[in-house]
A and B are shown apart, each in its own frame.
Chain A
C-alpha cells in the first residue's frame, strides 16, 4: 500500500535513517556531557563520540580526522570557507571565481565580499549546466585566491568535473573550495583523488539530522587555513567556536558510515528508478530534461513541461506527491529558478519545471504512481491551456505580439 504524501524532494532534505536516530538517542539522554569538559567522564564520553564521528566522516571523503571542522550546516560551512579564505589570504589577493548556478549560500557570501572589496568572477554555464574549463583557466589571475565550484548542482544535478577543475586551479596557484552538499553520501568523493582543498557538506541531505554539517579543510599539500568567523572558546582548533552539537554529530557520523557502505547500491537502485521516471515523463510531448544527462546525480531529475505552469502542476498533485519546482531555499519566491535561467531557459520553460529527487526510502511503486499522476496532470492542464491549443494548431507562439493589459 502506498502511503501519502509520497516524498520525492530528497534534495531539499531527507528523512532521517532510523539507524541514525538510534545512534543519536543515547547522546540526547544518557551521555549528555559537553565535549569540551575535560575533567570528568560526562565530557570524555561526549568527546569520544565526537572523535568517532569525525573518523566516520573523514573516511567517507578520504581525509584525516583533523581536517574536519564541525559546523551548523552547509550554509555555515560555505560562509566559513569563502569568508575565511578571503580574510586569511588577503595578502595574496582578493579575486574569487565562482559559477552563476551555485547555491545562494555561496553566491550571497560572494556578493557580501564584493561589497567589502573582493573581486568576483561569475562563470556562466552551457545549456546542460557545465562550465567551460578554458574559460575557468583564463579567468584565474595572480590575484585569484579561491575557486568555488559546487560538486553537483542542487536543482539539475549536473556534476562538475572537480578533478579537472582542481588541476587547473592548482596549476595557477589558487585553492579549490567545493560545496558538496548534494553530492556527499550520494556519489564517491575522495578529496585526495579529486584534489579538493576545502569542502562543505551537511548531514540532513544524507539521512542524518538537521543542524549539523562539516567543513573539510586540507592540512597537507598545501596546508590550508581559514580565519574563524565565530570567536569564542576556541573549539574546532580555533576555526569554529561553540559547544559541539554532540547528538547531531553522532548522527552525522552514523549517516556517513551508512553512506559509505550503501551509497553504491543506493545509487544503482535509484538511478534505475530515476531513469524509469525520466523515460516516462520525457516521452510526453514537449517535455525537456534540464541538466547533463551523462553527468548528473543518480537520484535526481529536473524536467520542464512546456505550456504547463510548474506551480499549477504541483498543485494538481501536491496532496499526494511532494516535489519541488527548484531549490527549497528559494522556493517561497515566485521568481523562476536562476539556475534554470543560467542554463538558458526562457521564463516559460523555467516556470514549467519540476525537480524530482528520490531517496533511500523511495520505492518503485511510488515512482509508478508519480508517473501516472504527473502524466495525467500535464494532460489535464494542457487541455485547459489556450497556449497549448495554439501550439497544436501550429501557431508559432514566439511570433505573436501580446496585447498589453
Chain B
C-alpha cells in the first residue's frame, strides 16, 4: 500500500482535469497570439478560462493574470508593488512561505523597504492588535503580506479583519492564498485584497501554472517583459494546457467544495482522534480550526525521530517534515521553530486530499503505532 499524505506539497492531477487538457495537448496547439484559426481557438479557450476563474472570486477577468505558479505570483505582487506603487514598508510574519520571506528579505537587503514582522500568538496566528499598532505607527506607504493559511501548520488568517485594518490605515494587502484557493470560498468583492496568488498543482491541477489576482486599483507593471501577452502584464507564450487545466481544477473544486471539505475534515478528525488516543505524548502543531487539509503532529522526543520520515517512507507513507520547498535542508522548519518544541521531538505534516480514504488513515496510525513501540523499547 502506498499512501500519499503530502498534498500540501503537490496533488495528483484529477483525471477529469487531464481530459480537459488533452484536446489542447493534441490538436488545438496554436499560439494564442497568432491571428489565424489555430491561434484564435486557443485564445478563446484562455479567455474563457480567465472569465470562469474571475467569476469564482467575484472579480473582473481583467484582474486575473496567468503566471508560472505561486512563487512567480508572490514575487510579482511584492517586487512590483515596491517598484511601482511606492511601497517602502512591508509588514509580514516570520512563518510565511519562502516565496514571500526570501523576496521581502531581498528587497530589504537592496535597501528598498523597511521590513517589520508582526507578533504571532502561541498557535502561530497573527496578533491582530500588534498588526493594528504597526499599521497605525507606519507613516510610509505600507504593504501587509500575510498568508491565508500556513503551508506547514495550517493556521488560518482572518482575512476580513486584515483587509479592514489595511483599508483603515490605507495599506496594500497581499495574501498568499496558495494553500487555500479551491479549499475555501473567496469573495473579493466583499473582502478587499490587492493581490492573491494561486498555484494549480495544489488542487489537482497541473504544475507550472497559476495566477495572480491584481486589484484594478493596484497599477503595477510587469515582472517579466517582452510581449503583449496577459494585456502587457506578463510576457511569454501562454501555458495553454496549464491554463485550461487550472480552470477545470478550480471548477471541479468549487462545485464540490462543501462535500469535499466535509469529507477531508472527517479524515483529518479521524487521524487526530486516533493519534491522540493511541500514541502517548503527541502534541498538535495545527489548531483545531485550521486549514482542513493539513494536520501537523509533534511526536515526543526520541533518538529514533531522526528516522521517523524514513520509517514512514519504508512503510509506504508519504508525508513531510515541512514544506517541500525546503525539505532538502537540514536547518529545520522556520515555522515549527516558532513553537519552541522540546529538542529531538519531531514534527510531521500530514496533508490530505479528496483522493485519500479512511482505510489509508487507519493504515497510517497502525504503522505509526508499530514504529513508536519500536521507539519506546
Contacts and interface: CB of A to CB of B under 8 A. Distances in A.
Given A78-B226, A103-B226, A112-B225, A328 B69 contact: no
Interface string B191-226: 000000001010000111100000000000001111
Contacts of A323: 36
Interface in B21-56: 25-27, 29-31, 33-39
Contact of B71 (A9, A105, A232): A232
A312 interface: no
A301 B362 CA distance: 64
Contacts of A108: 225-227, 235
B228 A12 contact: no
B318 interface: yes
Interface in B41-84: 67-72, 74-75
Contacts of A242: 68-72, 99
A9 B99 contact: no
Contact of A243 (B102, B318, B325): B325
A248 B209 CA distance: 11
B208 A211 contact: yes
A231 B103 contact: yes
A324 B319 contact: no
A298 B189 CA distance: 53
Interface in A107-127: 107-109, 111-112
Interface stretch (B3-11, B133-141, B257-265, B281-289): B3-11
A328 B313 contact: no
Nearest to B43: A332
B92 interface: no
Given A9-B34, A234-B102, A332-B35, A75 B228 contact: no
Interface stretch (A30-38, A155-163, A281-289): A30-38
A328 B9 contact: no
Contacts of A246: 207
Contacts of B236: 72-76, 105
A314 B237 contact: no
Given A34-B6, A211-B242, A241-B98, A79 B226 contact: yes
A233 B325 contact: yes
B75 A210 contact: no
Contacts of B279: none
Contacts of B69: 72, 242-243, 245
A330 interface: yes
B185 interface: no
A104 B38 contact: no
Contacts of B324: 34, 36-38, 43, 233, 243
Contacts of A98: none
Contacts of B180: none
A398 interface: no
Given A78-B226, A242-B68, A243-B69, A7 B209 contact: no
A246 B69 CA distance: 13
Contacts of B33: 12, 328-329, 331-332
Given A29-B15, A75-B236, A231 B36 contact: no
Contact of A39 (B34, B68, B201, B327): B327
B30 A322 contact: yes
A233 B226 contact: no
Nearest to B69: A242
Contacts of B102: 231-232, 234, 241
B186 interface: no
Interface in A225-255: 229-235, 241-248
Nearest to B104: A231
A204 interface: yes
Interface stretch (A13-21, A58-66, A267-275, A337-345): A13-21
Contact of B38 (A7, A21, A76, A329): A7
A96 interface: no
Among B207, B223, B326, which residue has the most Cβ atoms of chain A within 10 A? B207
Contacts of B98: 231-234, 241
A36 B322 CA distance: 11
Given A242-B71, A328-B34, A330-B228, A28 B13 contact: yes
Contacts of B97: 232
A33 to B, nearest CB: 6
A333 B11 CA distance: 40
A73 B31 CA distance: 13
A37 to B, nearest CB: 4
B295 interface: no
Given A13-B29, A42-B4, A234-B98, A75 B227 contact: yes
Contacts of A9: 30-31, 34, 36, 38
Given A29-B12, A104-B227, A41 B34 contact: no
Nearest to A322: B36
A16 B25 contact: yes
B235 A105 contact: yes
Nearest to B321: A39
A229 B74 CA distance: 12
B38 A28 contact: no
A247 B206 contact: yes
Contacts of B317: 40
Given A34-B10, A42-B318, A75-B226, A241 B313 contact: no
B239 interface: yes
Interface string B288-329: 000000000000000000000110110001111101111110
A209 B22 CA distance: 12
A369 to B, nearest CB: 16
Contacts of A328: 31, 33-34, 39, 237
A72 B313 contact: no
B229 interface: yes
B313 A34 contact: no
Contacts of A38: 324, 327-328
Contacts of A204: 237
B10 A33 contact: yes
Given A72-B72, A232-B103, A329 B229 contact: yes
Nearest to B327: A38
B18 interface: yes
Contacts of B35: 314, 324, 331-332
22 contacts: A9-B30, A12-B39, A15-B29, A36-B327, A40-B317, A42-B4, A74-B236, A75-B225, A76-B224, A108-B227, A202-B237, A204-B237, A210-B240, A231-B99, A232-B325, A243-B201, A243-B208, A243-B325, A244-B207, A245-B207, A247-B206, A328-B237
Task: State the 4 A-B residue pairs at the shortest beta-carbon distance, nearest first.
Answer: A245-B208, A211-B239, A233-B325, A105-B226
